[in-house]
Amino acid sequence: MGKAEIVDILSRHVPQEQSLIEILHDIQLRFRHLPPETLSEVARHCSVPLARVYSVATFYTAFTFTKKGDTVCRICMGTACHVKGAQLIREEAEKMLGIAPGQTTPDGKYSLEVVNCVGACAMAPVVIVNEAYQGKFRPMDLKKLLGRGE
């Protein structure tokens, strides 16, 4: 992670507290997490205490301090998805990737997450890969979706 990359991200935002969420979002998009060493730069840029930046970063569950894989696979475990087989999808993903939810593969290519309802119940069961929603999902669909087979 280079200082120039952070400077570039910060230069695209108005230096005010109202920019915090957008800045943190852009940093996370670039680095796949919020590197702690970047937060003091964000605080300086926005003229807010470092504690305020941490407060925002820890309040929203979309932000993470743990680096994610290049591909993040989220399995919805809301009621509709659960009833329609999300647990089987989860088990297959764990077996295929060799990791548990909340972990990233050693090569940094995949992260697996289990999430609560994503509001797409009509498409249940739902798997989200990066930001793409995949509905009516079946365990066998994982091979193609994750590039691990046919």
Q: What is the dihedral of CA 79, 116, 94, 100, to 10 degrees?
A: -140
Delimit the CATH 3.40.30.10 region(s) of the chain: 71-145
* pLDDT confidence band for 150 (50 / 70 / 90): very low
Please state, for a pLDDT cut of 90, what percent of the chain lies above it: 79
Residue 149, pLDDT > 60, answer: no
Confidence of residue 145 (pLDDT cuts 50, 70, 90): confident
| pLDDT for the residue 1 | 59
Mind listing the pLDDT tens digit for each residue in 38-49? 999 999 999 999
Q: What is the mean pLDDT of the chain?
A: 92
List, for residues 87-98, the tens digit of each pLDDT value: 999 999 999 999
Q: How far is CA 54 from the centre of its chain?
A: 18
Fold classified for 71-145: Glutaredoxin (3.40.30)
Separation of alpha carbons 61 and 78, rounded Å: 17
| Contact between 112 and 103 (Cβ < 8 Å) | yes
pLDDT at position 20: 95
95 CA to centre of own chain: 21
